[in-house]
């Protein structure tokens, strides 16, 4: 994960993002740069044909030989998030650009995706040359993503993590409180991604019949979408990356939430979720090396609003210290403790000396 710079989007850029991502907008491309410590819109291009027909005519002319930029390119497929279109995110950082510029753009990459709306981005294409990100380059990127290999590096890592998890379950069977169910491959893959801060939300469930922990959902959501992602009729485990600032520092804190509805689920289900929680957390912390900054238990009920938001998470992660509280004063000792006592050496006393 790259260190974030703290640079944010200008108000005009935020307004343009809101306009461009609506279904009725005809914006095809948005070029974003960094000026005066702010993310700003440098250029935009409207649609004239299909996304394939527009691609090279829109993307290639806006690129500069030595200047990094971010490009958002609108596809013609619709997103399920807001009925708008899906977008391709293109971070462009030429090798010949100044080192400071390249570092600045790399450090602001996560921020610009958050400002735009990560859920609208269906693919990401990084390039250092025009040939990396023109239409041919994008087609090669898609072919590479879809190519089947005997065993990729990611699959090797998944196999190794799964084996380590099984070993951890075995070795901790007599020490961890609760029941250690195996985690399925899809869930492990997404837990690895959230441990690396590549996505912001993972939801897991316990399969009571098959005795496994399964993936229910993995995506990028903002903190104001978190409450709506939590079901009110089923227990779940949630991992959420809360991206925020505290005392001027940009932080990406992982919060674990164990949500349990009222008595709408069976006693067995409630017991299994409760029993599997500790081994699950031990597994992600010991095997995946995930740093869980806060662990919460959340009771949910139908008809009641789920009270989890930026304010509550901020208070949970950074509780306020009551600076006005006086420290307990140590009482003073007595004014005079009397003369010091003389302790004789017992050897001297036995030898007759005083």
pTM of full prediction above 0.95: no
DSSP string, 319-334: PPP-TTSPPPPPPPPP
Q: What is the mean pLDDT of residues 36-58?
A: 95
Predicted local distance difference test score (pLDDT) of residue 158: 58
Residues 267-307: pLDDT tens digits? 888 888 988 898 889 888 887 788 999 999 988 877 677 88
> Do 94 and 68 contact (CB within 8 A), yes or no?
yes
Conformational region of residue 178, where left means phi above 0, alpha means psi within -120 to 50, and beta covers everything else: left
Tokens of 221: 């959501």
Supply the CATH classification number for the domain 8-146.
Answer: 3.40.20.10
Q: Tell me if domain 8-146 and domain 153-317 are identical in fold.
A: yes
What values do phi and psi take at 335, rounded to 5?
-60, -40
- pLDDT value, residue 7: 85
> Tell me: the pLDDT tens digits for 81-111?
666 899 999 999 998 888 888 888 888 888 8
Res 171: pLDDT: 46
Q: What is the mean pLDDT of the chain?
A: 82
* Local structure of residue 136 (DSSP, 8 states): H
Q: How confident is the model at residue 5 (pLDDT cuts 50, 70, 90)?
A: low
- Domain ranges across the chain: 8-146, 153-317
Span 153-317: which CATH code? Answer: 3.40.20.10
Cα separations in angstroms, 112 against 41, 163, 243: 11, 37, 13
pLDDT of residue 169: 45
Whether the pLDDT of residue 200 is over 90: the answer is: yes
Round to whole Å and give the CA distance between 303 and 54. Answer: 48
Assess whether pLDDT exceeds 90 at residue 235.
yes
């Amino acid at each position: 994960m790259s260190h974030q710079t703290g640079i944010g989007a200008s108000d005009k850029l935020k307004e343009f993002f809101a306009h461009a991502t609506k279904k009725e907008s005809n914006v095809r491309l948005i070029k974003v740069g960094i000026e005066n410590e702010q993310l700003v819109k440098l250029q935009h291009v409207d649609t004239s044909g299909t996304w394939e027909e527009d691609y090279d005519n829109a993307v290639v002319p806006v690129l500069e030989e030595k200047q990094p930029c971010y490009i958002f390119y609108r596809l013609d497929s619709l997103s399920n998030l807001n009925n708008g279109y899906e977008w391709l995110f293109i971070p462009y950082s030429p090798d010949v650009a100044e080192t400071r510029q390249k570092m600045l753009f790399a450090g602001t990459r996560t921020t610009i995706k958050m400002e735009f709306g990560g859920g609208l981005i269906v693919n990401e294409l990084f390039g250092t040359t025009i040939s990396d990100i023109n239409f041919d380059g994008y087609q090669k990127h898609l072919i590479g993503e879809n190519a089947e290999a005997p065993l990729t590096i990611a699959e090797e890592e998944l196999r190794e993590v799964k084996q380590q998890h099984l070993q951890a379950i075995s070795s901790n069977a007599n020490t961890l409180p609760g029941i250690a169910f195996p985690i399925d491959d899809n869930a492990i893959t997404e837990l690895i991604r959230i441990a690396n801060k590549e996505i912001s939300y993972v939801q897991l469930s316990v399969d009571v019949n098959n005795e496994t922990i399964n993936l229910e959902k993995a995506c990028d959501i903002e903190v104001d979408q978190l409450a709506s992602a939590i079901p009110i009729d089923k227990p779940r485990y949630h991992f959420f990356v809360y991206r925020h600032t505290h005392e001027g520092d940009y932080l990406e804190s992982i919060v674990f939430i164990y949500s349990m509805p009222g008595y709408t689920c069976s006693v067995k289900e409630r017991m299994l979720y409760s029993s599997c929680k500790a081994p699950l957390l031990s597994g992600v912390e010991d095997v995946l090396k995930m740093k869980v900054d806060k662990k919460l238990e959340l009771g949910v009920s139908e008809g009641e609003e789920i009270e989890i938001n930026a304010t509550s998470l901020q208070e949970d992660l950074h509780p306020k210290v009551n600076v006005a509280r006086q420290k307990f004063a140590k009482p003073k000792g007595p004014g005079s403790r009397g003369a010091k006592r003389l302790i004789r050496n017992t050897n001297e006393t036995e030898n007759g000396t005083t």
